[in-house]
Amino acid sequence: MVRQDAPYAKRFTGRMVRQDAPYGVERRIGRVPHYVRWRDPGAAYFFTVVTHERRPFLTSELARAALRTAWRETGARYPFVLEAVCLLPDHLHCIWRMPEDDDDYSTRWRFLKQRFTTLYLQGGGAEGAVSESRKKRQERGVWQRRFWEHRLRDDKDYARHFDYVHFNPVKHELTGRPEDWPWSTFQRYAARGWYEVGWGIDAVPASLRDFNAKRCE
């Protein structure tokens, strides 16, 4: 058995995956990989969501207004707690905590992205190229088709991703200080004393120095 606290381990039996493989592992049937998302009601998750073709429009006034509305409507229909967020021009990072009896974050993201797309395009926003594959799926050229999620396993894992969210504008050289980036929750938590003065300025925070951000870009 693979430990339940090793969500990204691979477990195969020949070419057919064992059917008791936990969520969060890559399954392979024949030669086709299938990623099965690891679900856990009441858990906290880190997400990365990227625009189609990495188009840098998310921090525009129109996109921010559409996102606020989509976020509010999603939460009203499918409750969750937004614990941290950072909006960048071509992607966003956030941490959600799911309700104790619910693990369906995929439905929430689907609704949020669809609602945003409608509002953004109605407001005059432009979309990217729409391939034949997207046309067949009735998808617009606004968001990347999928998103990246990571179930936060413990306090240390949570803290590192929480810091990663707030350090991201500095990492991408969009600002020299996390506190100067207007589209994140950093200032909220700094006001509560969660961050010391000067955190994230001129140096990578200690919590992130050996952090593998490969899947968090």
DSSP conformation letters of 97-144: E--TT---HHHHHHHHHHHHHHHHHHTT-------HHHHHHT--SSB-
- Structural domain contains residue 93: yes
d(CA 131, CA 118): 19
Under 8 Å between Cβ of 162 and 82? no
Verify that 90 and 161 share a domain, yes or no.
Answer: yes
Cα separation values, 87 from 8, 65, 105, 109, Å: 27, 12, 19, 15
Verify that 73 and 33 share a domain, yes or no.
Answer: no
CA dihedral 7, 80, 120, 46 (to 10 degrees): -30
Question: Which one has a higher pLDDT value, 36 or 38?
Answer: 38
Cα separation values, 56 from 32, 69, 89, Å: 32, 20, 4
- Structural domain contains residue 176: yes
pLDDT at residue number 38: 55
Verify that 137 and 181 share a domain, yes or no.
Answer: yes
Verify that 28 and 96 share a domain, yes or no.
Answer: no
pLDDT at residue number 8: 30
Q: On the CB side of 60, how many CA atoms lie within 13 Å of its CA?
A: 13
Instruction: List the domain range (segments joined by +) for residue 112.
Output: 44-201
Question: Which one has a higher pLDDT value, 153 or 2?
Answer: 153
pLDDT at residue number 189: 96
Record the tokens describing residue 133, joined without a space.
């594959």
- Structural domain contains residue 208: no
pLDDT at residue number 12: 26
- Structural domain contains residue 210: no
Lowest-confidence segment of 19-23, 37-41, 112-116, 140-144 by average pLDDT: 19-23
- Structural domain contains residue 9: yes
pLDDT at residue number 167: 97
CA dihedral 18, 22, 25, 29 (to 10 degrees): 30
CATH of the domain at 151: 3.30.70.1290
Verify that 33 and 48 share a domain, yes or no.
Answer: no
Task: Work out the mean pLDDT of the chain and round it to a whole number.
Answer: 82
Measure CA of the first residue to CA of the last residue in the chain; give whole Å: 31
Query: Is 138 exposed, middle or buried (CB count within 10 Å of its CB: 0-12, 13-18, 19+)?
Result: exposed
Verify that 152 and 101 share a domain, yes or no.
Answer: yes
Give the best-scoring range by mean pLDDT among 64-78, 129-143, 189-203: 64-78
pLDDT of residue 24 exceeding 70, the answer is no
Under 8 Å between Cβ of 98 and 41? yes
Q: What is the pLDDT of residues 137-189, one digit of tens each?
A: 778 889 998 899 999 999 999 999 999 999 999 999 999 999 999 999 999 99
- Structural domain contains residue 118: yes
pLDDT at residue number 181: 97
Verify that 7 and 60 share a domain, yes or no.
Answer: no
- Structural domain contains residue 94: yes
pLDDT at residue number 140: 84
Question: Which one has a higher pLDDT value, 23 or 92?
Answer: 92
pTM: 0.80
pLDDT at residue number 5: 36
- Structural domain contains residue 183: yes
pLDDT at residue number 142: 94
Verify that 125 and 72 share a domain, yes or no.
Answer: yes
Domain count for the chain, please give it. Answer: 2
Lowest-confidence segment of 2-11, 78-87, 164-173, 177-186 by average pLDDT: 2-11
Residue 86 has phi, psi (to 5 degrees) of: -140, 125
Verify that 49 and 29 share a domain, yes or no.
Answer: no
Question: Which one has a higher pLDDT value, 216 or 150?
Answer: 150
Verify that 16 and 89 share a domain, yes or no.
Answer: no
Verify that 106 and 88 share a domain, yes or no.
Answer: yes
Q: Say which amino acid occupies 115.
A: R
Verify that 34 and 76 share a domain, yes or no.
Answer: no
pLDDT of residue 4 exceeding 60, the answer is no
